[in-house]
Amino acid sequence: MGAGHDTVAAELARRATVHGHEPHVFDVLRLLPHGLGTGLRRFYQASVRHFPWMYAGIYRAFLRGGAWPRPSGVPLARLAGGRLLELVDRLEADVVLSVFHLAAQLTGDLRSRGALPVPSDVFLLDFAVHRQWLHPGNDRYLCLTDEAASEVCRALGRPVVTTGPVVAPEFLRPPPGATHWQERFAARAPGRLPVLLSAGAWGAASHPAATARLLVGAGYLPVVLCGRNERLLAQVSRVASAIALDWVDDMPGLLAASYALLDNAAGQTAVQALAAGLPVVGFRPLPGHGTDGVRRMDALGLSEFAADGPALLAALDRLSRASWERANRVARGHALFRDDPMECVLRR
C-alpha cells in the first residue's frame, strides 16, 4: 500500500545483492487471487484520499489493539499462501522477509502450521505498532525503535532486534543535487526558507493548500510534494508563492536543500528526512496509523507534533539553523540508524 513499502523492499534487496545473495521481491497483494489485491489497494487509496473517516473506522476495527476481540488478517492472507509456497519452492529461498503487515500475517500463519519450510522474519517499518503486524508464528521481528521492539516482545514473546530504519545510502551523505534545488528556491522566493509538505506517493493530505497559504503568510516558501495526485498538484499550483511538485526522483537533494519537513504519516519520507538531517514536524496527520505514528515520533523526540497553525509556526521558529533544538533533533534522527536489517536477516 503506497510507495513506502516498495522503497524499503527495494533497498533491502539491494543490500542482499551487495552481500552476495539473490533477492526476489514480490507484492503480496499481487499474490491474492481474482484481482482481490488490486481492489484492496484502490479501496485504501480512495479512503485515505477522499474518505479519511472511513479509513479511521477500519483502523479502529482491524488494526488498533484493544481488550476485546478484533478481526484477524489471517483469513485474507491465507488466500495468497499457495502462490507464496510455490515461489519459495521454485526459487529455493532460504528466508522470507516481510515488509507489509498482510505479508507478516501470511508468513506467520504458514510457519505456525508447518507449511513454510524456511525462516520468516518481519521488518516492522512503522513507528507505532498495530496489531496486524503481529503473529506469533514468525521467527523474528526487526524494529525501528526499542519501544516498538518492547511492544512486539510483550505481545508475542518472539525474538526481536532493534535495527533502526532503512534508507538508500544517498540519504546519509551530502547529495550533489542539493545545489540545484537551492538555486531553484532562491530564484522563486529569495530569502524565504523552503518548507516541504509531504502528501506521500498517492498525494493524500488534509487541507494542503490551506497549510501552504499559512506558510506563505509567515514568510516561508511552501514546497508541496503531491506524489502522483494530479488533482492535488493543480490545487496547490494555484496558491501564490508556493511550489507544487509531482513525483520527485531526487529526494536526497531536495531534503538537503530544505529547512524542515511537514509530515502527516510517519512514513518513509519522514525516515528519509531523519537520515538527511532534516527536522520533521508532524501536522494534520492522516487518520489511523498516520496519527499514531506521528504522535509516536513526537513522544520519542524525533519530531514535534503541531496541533494547529500557531503551534506549527512556533515549531518552525524553534528550528532556526543555529538553534539547539535543531541540532538536538538532527542528532536524535541520526542515532536511529543503528544496524543493517539485511545483515541481521543473513546472520542466522
133 shares its domain with 61: yes
Residue 309 CA to residue 262 CA, distance in Å, equals 12
Q: Is the domain of 217 the same as that of 157?
A: no
Do 291 and 182 reside in the same domain of the chain? Answer: yes
158 and 10 share a domain?
yes
Residue 346 lies in a domain: no
Q: Contact, 142 vs 163, CB < 8 A?
A: yes
Q: Are residues 77 and 184 in the same domain?
A: no
Q: CA-CA distance, 152 to 144, in Å (whole number)?
A: 11
For residues 319-344, give the mean pLDDT: 93
Per-residue model confidence as pLDDT tens digits over 239-283: 999 999 998 999 999 999 999 999 999 999 999 999 999 999 999
Pair 17, 155 in one domain: yes
Distance in angstroms (rounded) separating the CA atoms of residues 273 and 277: 6
pLDDT tens track for 79-99: 999 999 999 999 999 999 999
Would residue 28 count as lying in a domain? yes
Q: Is residue 262 part of a domain?
A: yes
Does 69 score more than 90 pLDDT?
no
Q: Residue 212: its pLDDT value, please?
A: 96
* Residue 121 falls inside a structural domain: yes
pLDDT for res 66 = 67
Kindly state whether residues 321 and 216 are assigned to the same domain. Answer: yes
Q: Are 190 and 266 spatial neighbours (Cβ–Cβ below 8 Å)?
A: no
Q: Is residue 288 part of a domain?
A: yes
- Asked if residue 214 and residue 81 are part of one domain, the reply reads no
263 occurs within a structural domain: yes
Task: Choose the weakest-confidence range: 59-68, 111-120, 181-190.
Answer: 59-68
Starting from the edge strand earliest in sequence, which strands make up the sheet with 96-98, in order?
A: 96-98, 120-124, 140-143, 160-162
Rounded to an integer, what distance in angstroms lies between the CA atom of residue 244 and that of residue 238? Answer: 9
77 lies in some domain = yes
Domain-located, residue 341? no
Q: How far apart are CA 204 and CA 227, in angstroms?
A: 9
Residues 186 and 90 in one domain: no
Give the pLDDT mean for 283-303.
94
Q: How many separate domains does the chain show? A: 2
- Whether 98 and 244 map to the same domain: the answer is no
Last residue of a domain, one of 128, 162, 196: 162
Give the pLDDT score at 46. 80
Domain span at 72: 3-162
Q: What percent of the chain has pLDDT over 70?
A: 99
CATH for 302: 3.40.50.2000
Q: Which of 142, 162, 182 is the last residue of a domain?
A: 162
Confidence of residue 67 (pLDDT cuts 50, 70, 90): low
CA 43 to chain centre: 19
- In 3-state terms, the chain is what percent helix, strand and coil (to 5)? 50, 10, 35
Across the chain, mean pLDDT equals 93
> What is the average pLDDT across 53-82?
81
For residues 186 and 308, state if they share a domain.
yes
Q: Flag whether pLDDT at 179 surpasses 90.
A: yes
> Final residue of a domain: which of 135, 162, 189?
162
**pLDDT one-digit tens code per residue, 106-137:** 999 999 999 999 999 999 999 999 999 999 99
Domain co-membership, 19 together with 120:
yes
